[in-house]
Amino acid sequence: MQYIIICLISLFLYSPALADTLQGKVIKIADGDTVTIVDDSGKKHRIRFAGIDAPEKDQSYGDVSTQSLVEVVLGKTVAIEYEKRDRYERIVGKVLVDPPVEVFCMALDCVKKIDAGLEQIKTGLAWHYKYYQMEQSEADRRL
């Protein structure tokens, strides 16, 4: 019985539904997996994309990865779903952005938000960071 209670508490504590959310405008791109946003109150937040790793600016393809992220999120309002901060006090989370205006869809299953980290992986300019995969939802790990 005690084992079941511990399992239920663990499930409750690590449920993706309990993730905090933050909204803001992207004002700076540090590299292919880190951005800075400013929220409605004017507070700046550094965001590290959960579940991915990208080359640093001074590494091969670092500038290309950074530019790709610029095109996807710079100057746009994003929603951040997160559960933790890293050792540098950056928020570690999923960065969601509205699809481009030219993507118009009237179907019920249209994409409402784009996962910017997944877009970086799809373009080949970032990779899945397996070391931290347990911080992602099971659905995100399968993408």
**Tens of pLDDT, residues 3-41:** 444 444 444 444 445 679 999 999 999 999 999 999 999
pLDDT at 19: 79
Q: What is the pLDDT of residues 55-87, one digit of tens each?
A: 998 999 999 999 999 999 999 999 999 999 999
Judged by phi (left if over 0) then psi (alpha if -120 to 50, else beta), residue 112 lies in alpha
Q: Which two tokens stand for residue 56?
A: 């640093």
Question: How far apart are the C-alpha atoms of 91 and 23, rounded to whole Å?
Answer: 12
Could you confirm whether 56 is annotated as catalytic? yes
- The four Cα atoms 123, 82, 112, 53 give a dihedral, to 10 degrees, of 0
Could you confirm whether 138 is annotated as catalytic? no
Higher pLDDT, residue 116 or 108: 116
Options 3.30.460.80, 2.40.50.90, 3.40.50.300, 2.60.40.1180; CATH for 18-142 is 2.40.50.90
pLDDT at 94: 96
Catalytic residue, from 81, 90, 119, 135: name it. 90
Could you confirm whether 48 is annotated as catalytic? yes
Break the chain into its structural domains and give their ranges.
18-142
